[in-house]
Amino acid sequence: DAKTTQPTSMDCAEGRAANLPCNHSTISGNEYVYWYRQIHSQGPQYIIHGLKNNETNEMASLIITEDRKSSTLILPHATLRDTAVYYCIVRVASGGSYIPTFGRGTSLIVHP
């Protein structure tokens, strides 16, 4: 029962910025937003996470709205190797625990 909403697919030209949106309107106050990506049948790979402030690392930037109801993952200069399914996830309360819950993600295709 995913608590995030992402577009099913997007495409981007190589060398351009890829901006992947995610809606997480029911996120609770102290839960982080995480982004992972999965390249064909491999395990998901961690990209970045954030709580309230915008974050940047060597892979990407994460912009979180002030109300924390949505975020955008930015790949500043997309390459062909960035073609993957991107998942935005938050933890969901379940029986006293908090469980990282995946939706169906966004399939990003980077074309030449």
Partner 1 sequence: ETGVTQSPTHLIKTRGQQVTLRCSSQSGHNTVSWYQQALGQGPQFIFQYYREEENGRGNFPPRFSGLQFPNYSSELNVNALELDDSALYLCASSFTQGANEKLFFGSGTQLSVL
Binding site for partner 1 (CB under 8 A): 2, 30-32, 34, 36, 41-46, 49, 85, 87, 91, 94-105
Please, which residue, 16 or 57, has the CB nearer to partner 1?
57
Return d(Cα 63, Cα 46) in angstroms, integer.
Answer: 16
Please, which residue, 27 or 78, has the CB nearer to partner 1?
27
Please, which residue, 14 or 31, has the CB nearer to partner 1?
31
Query: What pairs with residue 90 in β-bridges?
Result: 101
